[in-house]
Amino acid sequence: ATLNAYTVMPEKYASKVFEQFTKDTGIKVNFIRFSSGEALARLVAERNNPQVDILLGGPADIYTAGQKDNVFAVYVPKDQKLTPAEYRDPGNHWTGIGLIPLCFLTNTDFLKKNSLKAPESWQDLLNPAYKNGLQMADARTSGTATERIYSLIGVYGVDGAFDYQKKLHKNVQLYTKSGAGGAMPIAQGQASSGIFYLVDALDIQQQGYPVIITYPKEGVTFGIEATGMIAGAKNQEEAKKFIDWATSPKLGQFFVDQKINYIPVVKGVKITSPALDMSKVKLLKVGAEHKGDKRKAYVERWINEVIR
Amino acid sequence: MTSSSSMRRDPALIPVVVTLWLALGLFIVYPFIKLLMTTFIVDGRLSLDNLMLVFSNSYDRLALINSIWLAVTVAAMGTFLGFVFALAVTRIHLPAPLRWFIAAVTILPLISPPFTSSIALTLSLGPNGIILKFFGIPDFNIYGFWGTWISESLTYFPVAFLTITSVLACIDPNLEDAGLSLGGSPFRVFRTVTLPLTMPAIANSILLLFACSLADFATPLVLAGHQFPVLPTQAYLQITGMYDLKGGAALSFALLVPALLVFVLQRFWVSRKSYVTVGGKSGAQTTVKGIGMAGTAVVMAICAAVIAFILFLYALIVMGAFTKAWGLDNSFTWESFAYVFDHGRKAMIDTLIIACISTPIGGLLAVTIAYVTQRKSFPANGLMEFVSLLNFALPGTVVGIAYIIAFNSSPIVLTGTMSIIVAAYVFRYDSAGIRSVIASLHQIDPSLEEASLSLGASSIGTFKNVTLPLVIPALLAGMKYLFIHSMTAISATIFLVSVSWSLLTARILECMTELQFGNACAFSVVLILLVFIFNGMLTLLVRAAGYNYRGQGGNL
Amino acid sequence: MAVDLHLKDITKTFIKDGVKFDAVKRVDLEVKGGELVTFLGPSGCGKTTTLRMVAGFETPSSGRILIDGEDVTDVMVNKREIGFVFQNYALFPHMTIGDNVGYGLRMRSENSADIARKVGEALEMVGLKGAERRYPNQLSGGEQQRVALARVLVMRPKVLLMDEPLSNLDAKLRLHMRTEIRNIQKQLDITCLYVTHDQKEALTMADRIMVMNRGKVEQIGSPFDIYTHPRTLFVADFIGQANAIAGTLSAREGAERGVMKIGERSLTVKLISDAAYAAGDEISLILRPEAVTLREGMEGLLAGTVASAVFSGDRMEYMITLENGAQVSVMENYFPGAARYDNGTAVSLSFNSELTVALPCAAG
Amino acid sequence: MAVDLHLKDITKTFIKDGVKFDAVKRVDLEVKGGELVTFLGPSGCGKTTTLRMVAGFETPSSGRILIDGEDVTDVMVNKREIGFVFQNYALFPHMTIGDNVGYGLRMRSENSADIARKVGEALEMVGLKGAERRYPNQLSGGEQQRVALARVLVMRPKVLLMDEPLSNLDAKLRLHMRTEIRNIQKQLDITCLYVTHDQKEALTMADRIMVMNRGKVEQIGSPFDIYTHPRTLFVADFIGQANAIAGTLSAREGAERGVMKIGERSLTVKLISDAAYAAGDEISLILRPEAVTLREGMEGLLAGTVASAVFSGDRMEYMITLENGAQVSVMENYFPGAARYDNGTAVSLSFNSELTVALPCAAG
Ligand SMILES: Nc1ncnc2c1ncn2[C@@H]1O[C@H](COP(=O)(O)OP(=O)(O)OP(=O)(O)O)[C@@H](O)[C@H]1O
Ligand SMILES: Nc1ncnc2c1ncn2[C@@H]1O[C@H](COP(=O)(O)OP(=O)(O)OP(=O)(O)O)[C@@H](O)[C@H]1O
Ligand SMILES: [Mg+2]
Ligand SMILES: [Mg+2]
């Protein structure tokens, strides 16, 4: 039995996850990795004759967006109750498997040179020292960027969020296509700081570059990594088995064991890594009404008000 | 064969033309129409709302203007550089190894796996860039028009180089001798004889580069920043960021208007004159007299500067491949290559298989389309020429999406197979081959084909024995281009790769997004080596098949 | 075996300087099997174009072409079994001489030993033995032309179309090639159209000559006919030199003979039978310089004085002013001991009036 | 104004079929200002190559080229002020005829009104008035050749190098162009090298003729000299037809005269002064067919019987078998009333032995 999958998780994580799944169930997995937007575009285009059975990873909002085109199937995983309701689709199109908060990633050499402290507030990034030094994701391509907007809305309200971004824009050197795109330039010292998902920031930090991860005291939101089954999947049984497996504590525990930097949402998994310890971080929850439908409007507002 | 009697005279060609139209119809027109329908038919009715919506937005209008401006400037600069390099290898006396070296270096930017070269470029010209530091230039903002322009010109000039070289090499130097004997200085002879005779190649190279740049979204994505939006990037963002396939497709269709315009202009421009320089009465074998001291100096200076820059960029990539963590721990390591050979073997083999299948098919297709449209008078030849260019002028993403929409449901299901990837490559990247063969055909005296016919060869025999060997340099250029792109292109195929086929560039992109710079570089280095090896083999293969003609003039 | 050829009223229209223009105008020609017809005419008169239509490179704007009675107007070139020697050679620059010459044989799938042998023979015939491995641009102009010739002759085609095949060869070689061509052509009974600018070539090789002018046929006939009985002043003048001496027809004597008055003198002249002459018409006597013999004195058919005398190797070229003031050029073989006439000498002109003709003046 | 030209021992070596080969071998030629020298020689003998070296398209493998005493061997083509008419025309395909012809004038930056006028005149001269706007590929072969000619003549260069400039023109036009070229050349005192295959052209146009063979100079001299006193059998035979009648030198009479024995007959013959002859040597008497007069009977210098007699328009061509069995071809002007000799007739041959020469046999 085989399972075909698209994944939005980094290849190195996805391959481990699927390997483990095969070990556990004997089901072989073929998969390809995409960025979230590409994955959805492809799923939509393939709607009439789906080529894969499940999607693993990617922020919950692409699942929401895909519902419009009936891309995802309804399935209630066996252990659904172990996942808090706020981390799964009420319509059962998707289920969350991990959380990733936003954070600031800053080059420590830059900080030393400018005798600055690592930013600890959103306002710190408005410091003229950062002028032409920030790299962060473009709201049109990247889930990271929309998450940034949600965080800011959570902190400053909708109008306040855009006012803030207009100011922030003055310090921005480049909006990158992918969420992690700015991380390497910051590591290399081409840029000074930026706003990233924790996974990406940790990645670069763990490679040993002179960077520091900090959180704004006003708080940040987090993305929900999800998984879901594709409508019309050819391998229904295998797909269901995968969703069951992925939403059970098995995957959560696997994240922890393998140092995969998602914060598991499934109940009964204990987080050991200090980097993922969110106890000192103020996490904000954004109402579902802001995600989904509003997203498009925010992005357009961002285009029209911020980057112009 | 100027008369319209080809069809009556030469029924043997009808199946060829029918096959061509079937192929073009299936792999270009059909997906195109499918996509058009998806885009513009809303609830079963034709609606231009998508397009209107897009163009009511001044940001997108700006993007259209930027796109055209970028395409024009890139076409101009790229063609200029290509021409200068072509001059260096065909019109200046250089020792053979040096000529090979120049030709080899020009291949590099073509190979440039997506993103790696842009990264190298930002490392050198970006904020805190190495070159900027070296020259002490403070505040150069690479993000925007300049960065995109530099990068695209650099990436695409090899296309111009390939096209122009094959034509330049076939210009009979006796004509330049004639110009000199009439008192023209080497430079004026160059300007009034050599340059105008290269016009078919220049026009086609401009067309190619214009379309290339018009459709390219990857470079602007990395380098254009937000001040300089261009349409293909907007379309890409619309599709992948806003999850709005229709809007994105609608934006892309707008790109076809300028492309068509340039196509028509180019045809008109070239059609007015004759450029026949490969005739049946050979002038004496003569040496090229060069382009004068000043001209030579300028050409060599430009070549040296560009080559130095290219080598510098690629040296960064090579260094990246051998360092532990770029910029942090610069110690030497084989780790990245170990990773590449561990995890990338399948990708390498798959990519090679696909490229090796695409290249001959594309070569055959290119030369047949060019021949039929230029030499035979069948109805709708001009249309065929334009249709063959269509996929090239559309952003890869859009072509990819059109392919899934068209080939993922009956009657024709190809998704998940290798054939869809091959088709995407062939019908998209063959344009370079088609255009350069067309340019080359302008040079060949039709009386050579007549002679072959009169000696009893069929049209097909004539094509095979006379036309083909004479356009081999151009065809080889086209096939190299196709091969390289089959190894490196990603935009269209990102939508077509299936679980069973994994591609090298997809792996490079992954490494980039996963911030494994060293691995990405190592992959790139391997890719470059593979391309060089296979390019060399392609050339040898063609030579071994007895195709040795390399023009009457020039050195190449 | 020999095929015959029929050009039925063919016309070819080009656009020249923005206006339509007939490069070939209603040319009608029947060629019998095994016949060799040369096309003669001034540069640009449509010879090549006619030949190209016969070969099938060009489709006639109107008219038909029949080979052995079969309409081939829409038949592909390669189905016509013709051999074509191009005015511009059309050698394949990418092939060696050997491959060029063997091309047609290869297309016929002959076996390679045969091909090599035939190619060798053909090259030997054109004096290029051993040049198989060279490329066209390593040959001199004349050598290239010979390769073009060999390439076609080696094929032994049924119809041979040659467009100035010997123009770049020296006289000796030309003579040799002419004989070779004629031999092969006769031996194999090949029907042949042959364009040349060399009148001597046309006269000595042809069974018939077609003289063209501005796309139209002026006259078709045997060399002797064309030479001695040109039907128009154009033909008379084009084939060799001709003096046209103006006079009036004072009386007709049957269909082919009349009395012509030139100045004070009357002489009997030959007329062309199917042209309209009336007594009193202005007519021109066509007199070839080499058909005239000079004598001292006034006893000949015409008389005058020597206006100039030039020695040109083997002949003397005289210009004679006739009594009525007309200028007549006369050429005499010169050999030591032959009479020479100096300027001012009064001389008489004699010629065989059977071998000249008088044309109506309008025919020019 | 007129410049002189000196080819100093020039040689050009090509690699031909893998071996070195001298296409031009130690050619040494001095051309006086305003002189017209024609190059005559069989196809492939190195005429074009020599011309190309003078033009500067090719660098001699050894030797020097001097224009007006100045060594130009390493001077660029465009600095030599030469005009070159290419054997293959080398018209610019992308330019109209007008632009082709005006090219050189534009390079000289003449003003455009002048250029237009001169181009118009030049085209008119070559009979292509009004063809300015057409492209080379819309012209017939001969028309293209005329454009190539006009393009160079319009420049009035100091040195004119022409490589078979008239080969594709009809006789009438060729004659006309020949005169035009000669006029311009004389009028402007242009130094000119002229390659032709037409012996008549060579003889009538040239001040001097250079006969080449296999890359080497065979003889340089005035047309009369070359014609009447060829120094080698090759030259004798190449310029027109020649009979070489073998015999022995029985005695020398001074530097330039000797007694030759042919069969039973002895006759006084002219010898070339600077060649080594010794009594008893085998020598050949060079006799041109048209230099011989036939008489009935045996009284002439030589005698024989008519082996064949062919009428060819204006002349009779006889083949005579001499008493010693040698074959001699003889041509006589034919005019009505002239004597004709039938096969088998015994005839005697007379000729002016001052106008023939006897060569040592080795000279062939
Ligand atoms: N590039 C070359 N390589 C080798 N041999 C060559 C080359 N060019 C010319 N030759 C040879 O050199 C000789 C002289 O050539 P050239 O063109 O000077 O002859 P030519 O006297 O002009 O003859 P023609 O009257 O036929 O034009 C020829 O035998 C030719 O084959
Ligand atoms: N493609 C064309 N377009 C316009 N006119 C043309 C074209 N081809 C030929 N002509 C004209 O048609 C006429 C006949 O050309 P053709 O080549 O038949 O002449 P030709 O008799 O072979 O002359 P030549 O002896 O000079 O080769 C010429 O006046 C020429 O200019
Ligand atoms: Mg012609
Ligand atoms: Mg020559």
- Backbone φ/ψ region at B416: left (φ over 0), alpha (ψ -120 to 50), beta: left
Q: Which domain holds residue D340?
A: 241-360
Other Cβ atoms closer than 10 A to A85: 9
Task: Let me know if residue D233 belongs to a domain.
Answer: no
What is the per-residue pLDDT for A207? 82
Name C242's Cβ contacts closer than 8 Å, sequence gap at least 6: C230, C233, C236, C286, C287, C288, C289
pLDDT reported for residue C325: 86
pLDDT (tens digit, 9 = 90+) per residue, B477-495?
899 999 988 888 777 777 8
Region label for D22, one of left (φ > 0), alpha (ψ between -120 and 50) or beta (otherwise): beta
Residue C184's contacts (CB-CB under 8 Å, 6 or more residues apart) are C153, C156, C190
> In this structure, what are the phi and psi dihedrals at residue B215, rounded to the nearest 5 degrees?
-95, -10
Give yes or no: residues C279 and C138 share one domain. Answer: no
Q: Is the pLDDT of residue B350 over 50?
A: yes
Say whether C136 sits in a helix, a strand or coil.
Answer: helix
Centre of ligand 3 to C-alpha C99, Å, is: 26
End-to-end alpha-carbon separation of chain D, Å? 41
DSSP state, residue C3 = -
> Does the residue C234 lie in any domain?
no
The answer, yes or no, to whether any atom of ligand 2 lies below 6 A from the CB of C213, is no
* Test mutation, B60, B125, B128, B237, chain A, max A CBs within 10 A: B237
Angle between helix B256-271 and helix B245-254 axes, rounded to 10 deg: 20
Distance from CA of D179 to the nearest CA of B (A): 23
Answer yes or no: do D309 and D187 share one domain.
Answer: no
Mode of pairing for the β-strands spanning A94-107 and C346-350: unpaired
**CB D124 within 8 Å of CB D47:** no
- Is there an atom of ligand 2 within 6 Å of C196 CB? no
Q: Based on the structure, what is the number of domains in chain B?
A: 1
Residue D234, domain member (yes or no): no
Rounded to whole angstroms, how far apart are CA atoms B154 and B162? Answer: 14
| For residue A241, pLDDT beyond 90 | yes
- C86 touches B: beta carbon within 8 Å: yes
User: Looking at the domain assignment, is residue C191 inside a domain?
Assistant: yes
The preferred substitution site among B172, B177, B285, B286 for testing ligand 1, maximizing ligand atoms within 8 Å of CB, is: B285
- CA pair distance B227, A163, nearest whole angstrom: 19
pLDDT of residue C362: 57
What pLDDT sits at residue D340? 81
Question: Which tokens go with D104?
Answer: 């050189």
CATH number at residue C54: 3.40.50.300
Q: What is the mean pLDDT of residues B130-156?
A: 81
Query: In this structure, is residue B154 part of a structural domain?
Result: no
Considering only CB atoms, which chain C residues are within 8 Å of B447? 57, 86, 88, 90
What residue numbers bound the domain in which B417 lies? Answer: 349-548
Report in angstroms the alpha-carbon separations of D278 from C286, D247, D249: 55, 13, 7
Residue D190 CA to ligand 4 center (angstroms) comes to 22
Q: Is the pLDDT of residue B506 over 70?
A: yes
Q: Is the pTM of this model over 0.90?
A: no
| The pLDDT value given to residue C336 | 58
Give the confidence band of C293 by pLDDT, cuts at 50, 70, 90.
Answer: confident
* Domain-embedded: residue D185: yes
- pLDDT at residue B416, as a whole number: 77
Q: Give the separation between CA B252 and CA B235, rounded to whole angstroms.
A: 6
- Cα of C133 vs centre of ligand 4, distance in Å, is 20
Q: To test the ligand 1 pocket, which listed residue (D11, D48, D212) has its Cβ within 8 A of the most ligand atoms?
A: D48
Tokens of B289: 């007299």
Give distance in angstroms: CA of C227 to centre of ligand 3. Answer: 23
- Output the six-digit token pair for C45: 């008169």
- Taking only residues 243 to 302 of chain C, the set having a beta carbon closer than 8 angstroms to any beta carbon of chain B reads none
C107/C250 same-domain check: no
- What is the per-residue pLDDT across A170-193, written as a single tens digit (0 to 9) for each? 898 888 877 888 888 898 888 899
Residue with tokens 């027809």: C249
When the pLDDT of each residue in chain C is averaged and rounded to a whole number, the result is 88
Nearest of A211, A261, A226, A182 to residue A56 by alpha carbon: A226
Contacts of D290 (CB under 8 A, 6+ apart): C314, C315, C333, C335, D240, D331, D332
Q: Is residue C233 part of a domain?
A: no
Q: What is the mean pLDDT of chain D?
A: 89
Mark which of C228, C255, C290 sits at the end of a domain.
C228
Are residues D313 and D335 in contact, defined by beta-carbon separation less than 8 angstroms?
no
Residue D194 and residue D69 share a domain: yes
Q: Rounded distance, CA C300 to CA C199, Å?
A: 30
Same domain, D206 and D247: no
Residues of chain B neighbouring A67 (CB-CB closer than 8 A): none
Nearest to D288 among C130, C169, C314 (CB): C314
Q: Which residues pair with D5 in a beta bridge?
A: D31, D67
C neighbour chains, 3+ CB pairs within 8 Å: B, D
Please check whether residue B281 lies inside any domain of the structure.
Answer: no
At residue B4, the pLDDT reads 45
pLDDT band for position B122 (cuts 50, 70, 90): confident
Average pLDDT over residues A230-238: 91
Judge if D355 and D294 occupy the same domain: yes
- Distance, in Å, from the CA atom of B233 to the CA atom of B252, rounded to the nearest integer, reads 9
Of residues C119 and B55, more confidently modeled: C119
Q: Is residue D201 part of a domain?
A: yes
Burial of B52 (0-12, 13-18, 19+ CB in 10 A): exposed
Residue with tokens 């007008």: D98
Q: Are A73 and A229 in contact (CB under 8 A)?
A: yes
The dihedrals phi and psi of C47, each to the nearest 5 degrees, come to -65, -55
pLDDT of residue B437: 93
The structure tokens 């009193």 sit at C280
Q: Kindly state if the Cβ of C23 falls inside 6 Å of ligand 2.
A: yes
Q: Which of B392-401, B502-511, D168-177 has the lowest mean pLDDT?
A: B502-511
Mean pLDDT, residues A54-77 taken together: 87
Q: Is the pLDDT of residue B6 over 60?
A: no
Reply yes or no: is the peptide bond before residue B411 cis, omega within 30 of 0.
Answer: yes
Specify burial of residue C299 (Cβ count, 10 A radius: 0-12, 13-18, 19+).
exposed
Cβ contact C93–B466 (<8 Å): no
Residues D126 and D222 in one domain: yes
Tokens of D89: 């025309």
Instruction: Tell me the C-alpha distance between C191 and C37, whole Å.
Output: 8
Please, which pLDDT band fits residue B366 given cuts at 50, 70 and 90? very high
Q: How do residues B254-302 score in pLDDT, each as one tens digit? A: 888 888 888 888 888 888 788 888 877 877 778 888 788 888 999 999 9
The dihedral of CA B361, B367, B370, B371: what is its sign? negative
Residue contact C90–B280, C-beta within 8 A: yes
C-beta atoms of C168 and D198 within 8 A: no
Query: Are the Cβ atoms of B404 and A42 closer than 8 angstroms?
Result: yes
Q: Is the pLDDT of residue D84 over 80?
A: yes
The pLDDT value given to residue B300: 94
Mean pLDDT over residues C196-217, rounded? 90
Q: In terms of domains, do D186 and D296 share one?
A: no
| Counted domains in chain D | 2
Final residue before a domain boundary, out of D205, D228, D251: D228
| D71 shares its domain with D20 | yes
Among A84-88, A175-179, A233-237, which is the least confidently predicted range? A175-179
Our CA dihedral for C231, C232, C236, C242, rounded to 10 degrees, sits at 120
Calpha distance D209→A164 (Å, rounded): 96
Check which CATH number belongs to the domain holding C324 and give it: 2.40.50.140
Reported as a pLDDT band with limits 50, 70 and 90, residue D364 is: very low
D44 to chain C, minimum CA–CA distance in Å? 5
Q: Which atom of ligand 1 approaches the CA of D215 most closely?
A: 14
Which residue's CA is the nearest one to ligand 1's atom 23? Answer: D44
Residue C262: both structure tokens together: 């030139």
Q: How far apart are CA A100 and CA A10, in angstroms?
A: 14
- Note whether residue B171 is domain-resident: no
Give the per-residue pLDDT at D8. 93
pLDDT of A200 above 70: yes
Whose tokens are 């009697």? That residue is B5
In a domain, B514, yes or no: yes
What is the ipTM score, two decimals? 0.85
Q: Which pair of tokens denotes residue C351?
A: 């010629």
| Domain shared by D86 and D197, yes or no | yes
CATH of the domain at B441: 1.10.3720.10
D265-288 tens-digit pLDDT: 888 888 887 777 788 888 889 888
Report whether pLDDT(B555) > 60: no
Is D364's C-beta closer than 6 angstroms to any atom of ligand 2? Answer: no
For residue C221, count other CB atoms closer than 10 A to its CB.
18
C235 in a domain, yes or no?
Answer: no
pLDDT of residue A289: 62
Q: Which of B13, B281, B376, B470 to mutate to test the interface with C (most CBs of C within 10 A)?
A: B281
Residue D156 is which amino acid?
R
SS (H, E, C) B175-213: HHHHHHHCCCCHHHHHHHHHHHHCHHHHHHHHHHHHHHH
Same-domain status, D19 and D140: yes
Q: Is residue B488 part of a domain?
A: yes
Q: Which helix (H) or strand (E) holds A257?
A: helix A249-258
Mark which of C169, C193, C228 sits at the end of a domain: C228
B170, B175, B182, B285: best mutation site toward chain D, by most D Cβ within 10 Å?
A: B182
Structure tokens that stand for D135 in this block: 């492209």
Nearest CA to D148 among D82, D97, D206? Answer: D97
Write out the DSSP string of B392-427: HHS-HHHHHHHHHHHHEETTEE-TTSHHHHHHHHHH
CA distances from A53 to A7, A56, A97, A227, B499 (A): 11, 10, 17, 11, 12
Quote the strand ranges of C32-108, DSSP E: 36-40, 62-67, 70-71, 82-85
Residue C295 in this model has a pLDDT that exceeds 90? no
Q: What mean pLDDT comes out for the span B20-49?
A: 86
How many residue pairs from chains B and C have C-beta atoms closer than 8 A?
A: 115
Q: Confirm whether B406 is domain-assigned.
A: yes
How far apart CA C330 and CA C202 sit, in angstroms, is: 23
The best mutation among D16, D20, D89, D195 to test binding of ligand 1, ranked by most ligand atoms within 8 Å of the C-beta, falls on: D16
**Among B177, B182, B282, whose Cβ lies nearest the Cβ of D107?**
B182
Tokens of B338: 């170990």
Name the average pLDDT for chain B: 84
Residues D125 and D246 occupy one common structural domain: no
Nearest CA in chain B to A300: B242
The mean predicted confidence, pLDDT, of chain A is: 87
